[in-house]
Structure 1
Amino acid sequence: MITLREVQSSDLDRFFEFQQDADAAHMAGFASTNPSDRSIFDHHWHELLSSDDTIVRTIDFDGEPVGSIAAFEDEDSREIMFWTDKRFWGRGLTRSAVTRFLEDFPERPVSARVVVDNGGTLSILQALGFREIGRESSFSNVRAEVVEEILLQLD
């Protein structure tokens, strides 16, 4: 069973482990330049958790933290981002968690960004009604190259 809950300090150790997976970081396209540097990770999460403009939840599956989901203020809308442990990809857990998150926080519009070759995330967002509103090129530290991102929005 999927649940969303407040992030606990013990979750951060798991989130840090998830970030170490090179395949997952590559797929996300955007992560720390040095994903093994815990101080950078801790700084990033401190900023997320202490921001009044950011909503952050842990994705739990049967009592185990398997990912995170957040929405932060970005210009005229909230932008959503999420990360799920690679062991749980392809099982519908992420889609279920994003669905629940969007139900809990019905503020619209909500935007998202996806690297063009991240088919799993793109599929989840499109299935939930996000539509493409543009494309943008950005430098990816993880990939050490410029990547194309699809910009999406849910009204």
Structure 2
Amino acid sequence: MDISLRELQDGDLPVFWQQLTDPELRQMAVVTRKYHYDRGHFDQHWAKVRSNPSVILRTVLADGVVAGHAAVFGPPQEREVTYVIGRAHWGRGIATAALAELIGLESVRPLHADAAADNAGSIRVPEKCGFVVTGKSRCYAQARDEEIDLVHLTLG
């Protein structure tokens, strides 16, 4: 399978909306925002993200098909990675390959990532890319309507 990153295109946004509104994906991601539930907020969020020159934002392609997106954001010393892979593409190594390519685009270290403690796959992806668990905390997960344990990972 050919996995690559490319600059985001307007036509990618409907795919991202479909992915972010998938209830099963929300349960796995657990930390959701208003833009996961409301198309107006979604459009505002993406306009803001796309206009921020400090954000590295890429569309993830798997064999030429939009599989999700990945980004690096935040100020120096607090740079964080995030990625979303649509459920139809889970379990094929796409997230790991995309994250590995993404972190190669960012020279600033450390980089940070968070994952739900009960989501072994979302913890394993950054670990395969060299991140190590550096802490834990609790947060409210809107998708689950409960407090959950969150794992913090860092790439030094």
* TM-score, L = length of structure 2: 0.93
Structure 1 segment 3-152 matched on structure 2, within 5 A: 3-33=4-34, 35-74=36-75, 76-152=77-153
Cα distance in structure 2, aligned partners of 1:131 and 1:39? 36
- Residues 99-108 or 58-67, more deviating: 99-108
2:154 equivalent to 1:153: yes
Which ranges in structure 2 are unaligned for 5 or more consecutive residues? Answer: none
Shift of residue 125 of structure 1?
1.0
**Counterpart residue identity of residue 80, structure 1:** V
TM-score (norm 1): 0.93
Q: 1:146 to 1:74 in 2, by over 3 A?
A: farther
CA contact (8 A) 1:133 1:151 kept: yes
2: CA distance, partners of 1:106 / 1:75 = 11
Task: Name structure 1 gaps, 5 residues minimum.
Answer: none
Q: CA deviation at 1:77?
A: 2.7
> Aligned-pair distance for 1:26?
0.7
Letter of the aligned partner of 2:56 in structure 1? Answer: I
Give aligned pairs, total. Answer: 155
SS in 1 for 2:121: helix
Partner of 1:94, secondary structure, is helix
Amino acid at match of 1:139: Y
SS in structure 2 at match of 1:65: strand
